[in-house]
Amino acid sequence: MRLHLYEVASDMTTIKHPIRLHWDSHCVFRSRIGFLILVSIAGLLNGMDSALADVYKYIDKSGNVYFSDEPLPGENLSLEWKRTSKRLVSENKKQSNKLRREQEEIQARIDARLEAQLKARTDVYALRPAAPVSGSMSVRRERYRHLIEAAARRHGLTAELLHAVIRTESAYQANARSHAGACGLMQLMPQTASRFRVGNIWDPKQNIEGGAAYLRFLLDLFDHDLRLALAGYNAGEGAVKKYGYQIPPYRETQNYVRKVLRHLTAERTSRES
């Protein structure tokens, strides 16, 4: 009988070239791929005569592994085990079943996590307040002024900056929801809200707190460059990094940055007058 086995690269990703050997010869493999070799051998032995199917495993002083169908001489070889074909096949089946169960358990955990995330996302939108806050924008602005000023102090920001972002994002509508799924006064995405520990994305205080925390993070990340921080707030910090720490070439993001800066100038002018 002839075996067809393969030499595998050390990174376990590349089959380098075939090694053709006779069953009555022995072969040397690196220890890390011993199980793969055993799987192949066990599969072959399953259809062989058990009288011809004993397999010996040796390890030399350099750590090389030898498989043979007969005892091997040599002082530098240490017999690790001897198996019959039936035992190898049985062990292979047990190992395969164990790996399959582990993979099924991992997949079940992944599915459960995805389902929980989907349910949480669905619940976020189901909790959206039905009616917007009544009154003009100036009335709505005054309603949240103290929350904005408190969040600004906690995160080392100016209240004018938070007002400019909120005016651009939601015009002070606490139940605002964008087509992309951003929520509330500062238009937080559910993932961002979770990242900054916002429990109720529709609660004005928590929403402002989460948005202020995210702005503080972005300003620190981009070395206090306000334009890049605003671009990151709109498109995500990954987009700013992707384009070489520049404002991404997205029309929406570029318009967003200009609009917030325009509102910021108006806020500062109003405060000074």
Which residues are known catalytic residues? 169
Long-range Cβ pairs for the range 224-232 (8 Å, 24+)? 226/161, 226/261, 227/257, 227/261, 230/165, 230/256, 230/257, 230/260, 230/261, 231/256, 231/257
Taken in order 72, 76, 82, 85, is the CA torsion positive or negative?
Answer: negative
Dist. CA 185–CA 72, nearest whole Å: 77
Q: How many CB atoms lie within 10 A of CB 239?
A: 17
Dist. CA 7–CA 37, nearest whole Å: 10
Q: What would the two tokens of residue 61 be?
A: 């002083």
Greatest distance between any 2 Cα atoms in the chain: 100
Total residues belonging to the chain:
273
Which of 53, 61, 55 minimizes the C-alpha distance to 77?
Answer: 61
Taken in order 230, 231, 234, 239, is the CA torsion positive or negative?
Answer: negative
Q: How many CB atoms lie within 10 A of CB 191?
A: 11
Contacts of 157 (CB under 8 A, 6+ apart): 151, 212, 215, 216, 219
Beta bridge partners of 27: 67
- Asked whether the beta carbons of 268 and 160 are under 8 A apart, the reply is yes
